Amino acid sequence: MQDLLADFLTEASDLLDDVDIGLVELEQRPDDANLLNQVFRGFHTVKGGAGFLEATPLVELCHRGESLLDLLRGASLRVTPEIMDVILAATGEVRRMFSEMEHGAMPEAAPAGLLSALEAAARGESFDTSGFRAAAPSAAAVRTAKEAAAASAGEPDWLGYYRAAFGDPPGLQEEAPAPREAGVPASSRPYRPEMLAPAGGAPAIAKDATIRVDTARFDQILNLSGEIGLTKNRLSCLRDALLGAGRRDDAAAETLDGVFSQLDTLVSDLQSAVMKARMQPVGRVFQKYSRLARDLARQLGKDVELNITGGETEVDKTILDELNDPLVHLVRNAVDHGIETMVERRSVGKPARGTVHLSARQTGDSIVVEVSDDGRGMDPEVIRRKAVEKGVISAEDAAVLDQAHCLQLIFLPGFSTRSEVSDLSGRGVGMDVVKTNIEKLKGQIDIQSAPGLGSHIVISLPLTLAILPVLMLKLVDQPYAIPLSVVREIIPLRQEAMHTVGRNQALTIRGEVLPVIDLAALLGREREEPPSLAVVLAYGERQLILGVDGFIGQDEVMIKPLEGIHPRGVAGATLSGDGTLVLVLEMKQLLEGVF
């Protein structure tokens, strides 16, 4: 639990920094809906983590702030300096609570005046802000708040930050609190007994064998390892050119081969070591959800069991950190929305205890995370109707959607099937966060559900966002690369063996009819001759044949983003062994709408 608390405080503090900066910017741009949604999500995420840790005072404060922001999102209220005053005062109180939790104590409740002001603001009534601070903080004050905190000798970080941005906190003494003795809690109300040291002194802590490295510095190391790999590829091309130019010196050739072999081994070991250093088991995140599901089920009067499998599956730390928030929402939704009450389950012949499954597995160069439940499921028609009622889609657009696309509506901002807002749901923010975070990780999320049969959500993510195994191919004298994870086999493409199915060409392979797609047609390139070679790709649940002109070979590359442009179907670029620019294709995106 100490580890979970430390993780929450680290992540939530960074998130609250972004909220403070966003609030100051929002005062300058009150009509910026994206910025308002970003601030709202920050409050929502902090509240969710606080609820998991049973920090009730923090949950109550965040819920009031979230309710006020939700009214601003819905245009029921307008952004005013007074409203910004009270919200910024609330973030200051959140920081005070973080500090108390950091010392192992249940945070004291927010001042009654602040809570009353938040409620009055939500009702559109006037309120007194003189007890919070004299004037709204400037952007410069927020930017320099952390520096001021560091200069506040003897003060906790949160207090220096709060005073620099907002003035003295309400109800707080001017003197900094005295240092806490080892083993003595900072508050007479323990936050959680097992988090506190025993009365006889602090517990023995094993020596930490790890170090913290700034992500930017580690990414620089990873970038250098990728550049070494590209240099190795160029050296390989140079060696082949020298040895094939008719000037062969056997002794020199043997030496060059030995040096190149040694370099090849070192580069592979370096890249492998760097990648392994970033890999962590998903169980580190999954372990948090058992308690989350249990406590939420008890709060709702339900009996729910969470089954976890595949916790040993490893994934890049960057992806793992970003995966936490989507999974929190999915597990909460499964318990809150998916699983029925015990009475409802018995009435339809189901066991009283509902089951939620959370699993992870590695498939090629991807990790697949699945969240499923045996609950009530989702009715596409109900989702269609609710989406129109909430105004997230027009009635005309909703009328042409099939059932699969109706289920996708739950990922739209503002969608919710709940008619009443609670501290658990009803705001229409959870699944929006899920899809946004998954897409940022270059992943995909699919959903299957039917009334009475539960729901099944599948998230597919790359194992790492850094080095990618690819198949290098040629098309109209230009090299391209496609992820090796989607490649099944390479075959010759004979025109006489193909036949027409509907309006598309197809080829029969081992009794299975597969559609044939010319890569040149996908990319808008003109060719004089039809393709003579092809690669069999796995696209979702289907397979297809992609016609190309030739193959260069297999390689591991570091993808570089294309600055300023985002062509459809292009994940980024890399360099070939001879220094040629190679576009790395995103096949799933490129093939969207083809079938």
Q: pLDDT (tens digit, 9 = 90+) per residue, 413-433?
A: 766 655 544 444 444 446 777
Residue 25, pLDDT above cutoff 70: yes
pLDDT in tens, 550-574: 888 888 777 777 777 778 888 888 8
Nearest to 357 by CA among 458, 450, 284, 461: 458
Residue 134's pLDDT band (cuts 50, 70, 90): very low
Please give the backbone phi and psi of residue 496, each rounded to the nearest 5 degrees, phi first: -70, -20
Mean pLDDT of 479-499: 86
Query: If residue 318 lies in a helix (H) or strand (E), which one and from where to where?
Result: helix 317-333
SS3 call for 303: coil
What dihedral angle (degrees, nearest 10) is formed by the CA atoms of 92, 97, 100, 105?
A: 170
Other C-beta atoms lying within 10 Å of the C-beta of residue 458:
14
What span, in angstroms and rounded, lies between the C-alpha atoms of 443 and 441?
5
Nearest to 474 by CA among 545, 548, 400: 548
Global pTM reads 0.52
Q: What is the full DSSP assignment across 213-268?
A: --HHHHHHHHHHHHHHHHHHHHHHHHHHHHHTTT---HHHHHHHHHHHHHHHHHHH
What span, in angstroms and rounded, lies between the C-alpha atoms of 365 and 486?
9
| CB-CB contact of 569 with 585 (8 Å) | yes
pLDDT at 210: 55
Lowest-pLDDT choice from 243-247, 359-363, 388-392? 243-247
pLDDT in tens, 154-208: 333 333 433 444 344 433 333 333 333 333 333 334 444 344 333 333 333 233 3
Q: Tell me how far the alpha carbon of residue 573 is from its chain's centroid.
A: 23
What span, in angstroms and rounded, lies between the C-alpha atoms of 166 and 145?
9
Helix axis angle, 56-73 to 81-102, nearest 10°: 160
Q: Kindly tell me the burial class for residue 536, based on how many C-beta atoms sit within 10 Å of its own C-beta (0-12, 13-18, 19 or more).
A: middle
Residue 351's pLDDT band (cuts 50, 70, 90): very high
Residue type, 480: Y
Q: Which residues contact 587 (CB under 8 A, 6 or more apart)?
A: 482, 483, 486, 537, 539, 569
Size (the chain), residues:
595
pLDDT at 498: 84
Higher pLDDT: 399 or 248? It is: 399
Dig out the tokens for 270 from the structure. Answer: 């370096």
Q: 372 pairs with which residues across the strands?
A: 357, 456
Mean pLDDT of 256-270: 74
Q: Kindly tell me the burial class for residue 573, based on how many C-beta atoms sit within 10 Å of its own C-beta (0-12, 13-18, 19 or more).
A: middle
What dihedral angle (degrees, nearest 10) is formed by the CA atoms of 311, 317, 323, 324?
A: 80
Lowest-pLDDT choice from 28-32, 138-142, 323-327, 417-421? 138-142
| CB-CB contact of 372 with 327 (8 Å) | no
| CB-CB contact of 454 with 338 (8 Å) | yes
Mean of pLDDT over the chain: 75
Residue 375, pLDDT above cutoff 80: yes
Residue 137, pLDDT above cutoff 80: no
Residue type, 340: E
pLDDT at 215: 66
Residue 142's pLDDT band (cuts 50, 70, 90): very low
Residue type, 205: I
pLDDT in tens, 439-456: 778 788 889 988 988 999
Dig out the tokens for 345 from the structure. Answer: 């389950």
What span, in angstroms and rounded, lies between the C-alpha atoms of 19 and 38?
8
Higher pLDDT: 54 or 239? It is: 54
Nearest to 479 by CA among 538, 555, 563, 591: 555
pLDDT at 246: 55
What span, in angstroms and rounded, lies between the C-alpha atoms of 35 and 84?
14
Mean pLDDT of 297-305: 85
Q: Kindly tell me the burial class for residue 153, based on how many C-beta atoms sit within 10 Å of its own C-beta (0-12, 13-18, 19 or more).
A: exposed
The sign of the CA dihedral 140, 141, 142, 146 is positive
Mean pLDDT of 397-420: 75
Helix axis angle, 317-333 to 33-52, nearest 10°: 80
pLDDT at 192: 44
What span, in angstroms and rounded, lies between the C-alpha atoms of 338 and 331?
10
SS3 call for 414: coil
Residue 370's pLDDT band (cuts 50, 70, 90): very high
Higher pLDDT: 499 or 235? It is: 499
Residue 145, pLDDT above cutoff 50: no
Residue 63, pLDDT above cutoff 80: yes
Mean pLDDT of 250-277: 72
What span, in angstroms and rounded, lies between the C-alpha atoms of 183 and 179?
12
Residue 245's pLDDT band (cuts 50, 70, 90): low
- From residue 359, give the alpha-carbon distance in Å to each of 249, 335, 364: 57, 16, 16
DSSP character for 545?
E
DSSP character for 109?
P
pLDDT at 189: 40
Residue 350, pLDDT above cutoff 80: yes
Nearest to 65 by CA among 142, 118, 139, 104: 118
Dig out the tokens for 421 from the structure. Answer: 């807002």
The percent of residues above 90 in pLDDT, for the chain, comes to 7
| CB-CB contact of 36 with 26 (8 Å) | yes
Residue 293's pLDDT band (cuts 50, 70, 90): confident
Mean pLDDT of 513-534: 86
User: Of the ranges 21-35, 318-332, 402-416, which is most confident?
Assistant: 318-332
Q: Does domain 467-590 have CATH number 2.30.40.10?
A: no
Strands 354-363, 366-373: pairing is: antiparallel
**Which numeric CATH code is attached to 282-461?**
3.30.565.10
Nearest to 426 by CA among 386, 468, 463: 386
pLDDT at 129: 61
Lowest-pLDDT choice from 197-206, 230-239, 328-337? 197-206
SS3 call for 515: strand
| CB-CB contact of 515 with 501 (8 Å) | yes
What span, in angstroms and rounded, lies between the C-alpha atoms of 344 and 330?
22
Residue 273, pLDDT above cutoff 80: no
Superfamily assignment of 2-195 in CATH?
A: HPT domain (1.20.120.160)
Other C-beta atoms lying within 10 Å of the C-beta of residue 350:
19
pLDDT at 132: 55
Dig out the tokens for 99 from the structure. Answer: 């500090």
